[in-house]
Amino acid sequence: MEENLYQSKYQHIFYEKETGIMHNIWLKDSQMMTQDDYKKELIKVAQLIETHQASRQLINTLNFQYTIDIDLQQWTNEYIIKRTREAGIKKVAFIIAEEIFSQMSIEQAMEGEEGKTLDTRYFTSKEEAREWLVKD
């Protein structure tokens, strides 16, 4: 059962204790984010992963409308991905967006040095993503 941990106009974050899955769902208002908003939202994700000791992450980007520029991709890789990996994240599943530019910027953010240390896959449905996450 998922516990609702955080809600903003940009995303909702849930935790499933039984499986160790931290699940964040990006919302359409993400298109209105500033760089500072993006950073604050990802820092919140990292804090919750640390607090709850999540080992898996399910990121629903179907409504993610923010394009992550090169500098933010680097920041995400060097700061957030490193931090979540060190907190215990082993596997990351993305439910990918239809909008190609947002999807590409997410994938590029995961391609940095820290992102390469995580087992990361992209899916088109929550069911497929969860199934992969809970497999060891």
pLDDT tens digits, 90-124: 999 999 865 554 566 666 666 666 556 678 887 87
Q: In this structure, what CATH number is given to the domain that contains residue 21? A: 3.30.750
| pLDDT at residue 123, rounded to an integer | 80
Q: Does the structure show a pLDDT above 80 at 14?
A: yes
Pick the closest to residue 27 from 3, 62, 57, 58 (CA basis).
Answer: 62
pLDDT in tens, 37-71: 999 999 999 999 999 999 999 999 989 889 899 99
In this structure, the number of other CB atoms found within 10 A of the CB of residue 16 comes to: 19
pLDDT, residue 65, reads: 86
- Measured on CA atoms in the order 12, 40, 69, 87, is the torsion positive or negative? negative
| Owning domain of residue 60 | 2-134
- In which band, very low, low, confident or very high, does the pLDDT at 82 lie, cut at 50, 70 and 90? very high
How many separate domains does the chain show?
1
pLDDT the model gives residue 13? 99
